[in-house]
Structures are given as C-alpha cells and as structure tokens.
Structure 1
Amino acid sequence: MNTNYRILVVDDEEDLCDILKFNLENEGYEVETANSAEEALKMDLTKFHLLLLDVMMGEISGFKMAKMLKQVRETRDIPIIFLTARDTENDAVTGFTLGADDYISKPFSLREVQMRIKAVLRRTAPQQAVPAAYIGFKELKLDLNKKEAVLCGEALQLTKTEFEILRLLLENEGRVFSRAEILRRIWNNDAEVLDRTVDVNITRLRKKLDGYGKFVVTRLGYGYCFDTSVKD
C-alpha cells in the first residue's frame, strides 16, 4: 500500500481527531484534521486522497458537506468514509446515496478504520500507468511496451522476430552478435532454426528500415551489430 496518501479527518471531537491522526500517521499516511465542516471547506480539499467525515456536526453536517463536494468537479471524485454514532439503515442508505465509499459506526476500533481506509484507497486510487519505455536512434523509435517500431513518424510493419532482433541490436548499440547468439536469444535455441534464418530476417529488416537499414551492419566472420557511426 502506498504510504504517500493524504487524508483529512473532519470531526467535532478533537480528541478523536488527534487519536486518528496519530494512528494513521503511524501507518504512513499524511493526515490533517478539521473540527467542523466549515473549517474543512476553507482548506484545499483537492490535495487529499480520502476524507473521513463525521456525520453529526454543527451547522453543516457531514452529509451536507459531502453533497456540496459532489457538486463540484474538482472535489466530486474524492473518496469519502462517513464516521457516525448513529447506526441506522436509513443513515447508511443516505450516506451511500450521497456517494460515500464506506460508512463506519462509532464506537469503532482503530484497526477497523485502518482496514476500511486501505480497502477504499485500493478501489479508488488511480491505476498507475505503465511508464513509457523507448529506445531508438534519431527518427527510429521502438516502444517497448506497445511493441511498436516507428520510423520518421510512420509505423513499421515488423514481425515479432524482426522487432526483437532490432531491439537486441539497438539496446546494445555497437556490440556484435554472432548468428548463434542471435538464435539463442531470439529463437531460444530452437534446433529447427538454421543460421541462414538470421540472415533472411536481417535482410527483411534492413528493407523495412529503408535508409536506416545501413546501420544494421554485417561484421564478416563475426555477425551483426547496430552501428550509428556509419556514414552516408
């Protein structure tokens, strides 16, 4: 569980706020507190990943505050867990109707609160995108996540084998790979594949690379490499 989540506890019981803050910070969360909805609404709520809202507060109840937040684009997606001393089905229904992610009745154990928070954050935290991974040379780019090759802005129609050969050579620019080594790495020592197969795939790859094919160099008696020092 990511411990960089920021949580706001809003409750008119100062002692409860202090207890929750102390224990949640021990779990690795960043925690701030407010003793009323009015105080909380003066804060920059967009920085929080989760709100713990007491239902029964003064002028503005937790339900009313939640309704206000759900009407604003910047705050409508912030997860909310209601804390309440009123354990009735109608209150729970009201809370979930307002868009609450969970509803905890007082008195509660700190362990229960911690587990509920983890569950809500697990459900609501945005999934991290797979970081882009590119290798290439000048206008030749390989997207290692999408398994795509692009040359001068145009997608190349490479086979899986051609892509993997190009990737091997590009990732090890200047290093010479023998046919046997390429066979071992790309074909996993498939006994049915001959050395000549490497040559055929290299020839096709060079054609598809057009002017960049010259950088796929043959070192006679040794093998192949991607050599960026080749001149026109």
Structure 2
Amino acid sequence: MTERRILVVDDEEDLREILRFNLEKEGFKVDTAASAEEALTLDIASYSLLLLDIMMGEISGMALARVLKRRPDTAHIPIIFITARTAEDDTVEGLSIGADDYITKPFRLKEVVARVEAVLRRAGKDANVQHERDKGVVGYETLRIDTVSKRVTVDGTEIALTKKEFEILLLLVGNAGRVFSRQEILSRVWDDDVYVLERTVDVNITRLRKKIGAYGDCIHTRQGYGYSFEK
C-alpha cells in the first residue's frame, strides 16, 4: 500500500500535535510545520494531503494554497482548511482557490479523520481516470465527456448539449468535488466582453440535469456557494 503522508500547517503547537497523534493512529505518516514559511522549505510534492490553518504569520493559509495551486508539482495535492474563521466569504474564497474541504474550529477529531479519508478517496478516484484524461476523455461511470470530439454520452448514447452546457459539464465533472460559484462559472465559460446574468448559470444547470438523466443528481447546489459535481 502506498504510504499516505499528511502535512499539518498550523501555528498552534498543541493543535498540531493533537492532529498528528490522531492521524498517526489511523495509519497516516504525519509531518507538521508551524508556519507557511516553514512548510515551503519542505518537499510538499511528496505529501498526499495538506491540512492548512488560515490565520498564520505573514503568509496565510490562503496565500500558501494559492502558491501551491500555481505550482505544477503541487497543484494536484488535496487541501483541507482548518480554521476558526466562519464567514461565508472566507469559505467561498477557500473553495474557489481549489481547496477540497473546509473545517471550522472547534471540531471533533473523528470528523477531521473522516474528512481526510473522504478527500483522499476522491483524489484516488481522480487518479484512476487520469489515463482517460490523457486521451481527452473525462467522466464518471457511464457519463463520458470526449474533449476532442466534443461529444457527451450516457450509457453509450450521445446527449445533445449546447456549447455552454458542454463547457459547464466539463468544468464540474473535470473538477469533481470542487464548488464553483456562479461568477466563477461565468468567467470560465462565457467571454469577458459578454454581459451575462448569474441567473443564466442556473438555467443552464437545470437543463443539464435533465439532459444527463440520473447523473443530474450528481450536480449539487451548495446554497450560498455555487455548484459542484459529487461522485
């Protein structure tokens, strides 16, 4: 079995050690860092998952995540934020950066372990389909999105989608588990010089759900945040 390595980055020593102890009990190899600056001195690309506090020193957890998501060697590593900040804007910002989950303090240690396991399972599934991505195919079970031919099939039957519906579906399925705000979907799918209401995203999502049948239930509405594709 591949060693599962976790890096905990938090400026509270007691919390770092509590997380280390409990995660190691579950079979993880755990390292810790007291700041983002210290974390950046480590071989971050060697870790399976990162647990980041947000409020730390000169470089925040958010800033660290942005740096890592821009680096080719670390962009794929799942990130879970653990923080005392609960404002909705903070949650949205964390998820928009590319974080995989967001846990607020105080928390139950069993919850943290369960969230870590869930994120790693999802990341493992994404890795298993990487060979299909290399061939230009993205999908889940019998939902297939061919990025070369621009065709979508369900159970082998082609589904007729508009260009915008295709691009929204590709964005969500290709980043399964990540929540995209309406504004982020607009900025990625529509041209910058075209003014489009956020409501347009909702209309396209509604049509998509109907067209892809049972897989429509996989497109989740995260109230106040946006949309995600959940496997």
More helix per residue: 1 or 2? 2
Runs (4+) off by over 3 Å? none
Q: Provide the C-alpha distance between the structure 1 equivalents of 2:103 and 2:112, rounded to a whole number of angstroms.
A: 8
Determine the structure 2 residue equivalent to 1:27: 26
SS of residue matched to 1:93: helix
Q: Provide the C-alpha distance between the structure 1 equivalents of 2:48 and 2:128, rounded to a whole number of angstroms.
A: 13
Is contact 1:3-1:28 (8 Å) kept? no
Q: TM-score, normalised by structure 1?
A: 0.54
Determine the structure 2 residue equivalent to 1:118: 117
Q: Provide the C-alpha distance between the structure 1 equivalents of 2:2 and 2:31, rounded to a whole number of angstroms.
A: 15
The one-letter code of the counterpart of 2:22 is N
Instruction: Give the alignment's Cα RMSD to 1 decimal.
Output: 1.5
Determine the structure 2 residue equivalent to 1:41: 40
The one-letter code of the counterpart of 2:21 is F
1:127 aligns with 2:142: no
The one-letter code of the counterpart of 1:108 is F
CA offsets 1:2-30 (integer angstroms, 9 cap, x no match): 67210000000011000000110000000
CA offsets 1:193-214 (integer angstroms, 9 cap, x no match): xxxxxxxxxxxxxxxxxxxxxx
Q: TM-score, normalised by structure 2?
A: 0.54
**Bigger radius of gyration, 1 or 2?**
1
Q: How many residue pairs were aligned? A: 128
1:104 aligns with 2:103: yes
The one-letter code of the counterpart of 2:118 is A
- Compared CA separation, residues 3 and 73, structure 1 to 2 (3 A): closer
Determine the structure 1 residue equivalent to 2:11: 12
Aligned-residue offset at 1:102: 0.1
Q: Provide the C-alpha distance between the structure 1 equivalents of 2:17 and 2:30, rounded to a whole number of angstroms.
A: 10
Aligned-residue offset at 1:128: 8.9
Q: Provide the C-alpha distance between the structure 1 equivalents of 2:27 and 2:101, rounded to a whole number of angstroms.
A: 21
CA offsets 1:126-150 (integer angstroms, 9 cap, x no match): 2399xxxxxxxxxxxxxxxxxxxxx
Q: With CA pairs under 8 Å and 6+ residues apart, which has the higher RCO, 1 or 2?
A: 2
The one-letter code of the counterpart of 2:7 is L
Gaps of 5+ in 1: 130-232
Equivalent positions of 1:153-232 (< 5 A) are none
Identical-residue share of aligned pairs (%) = 59
Gaps of 5+ in 2: 131-231
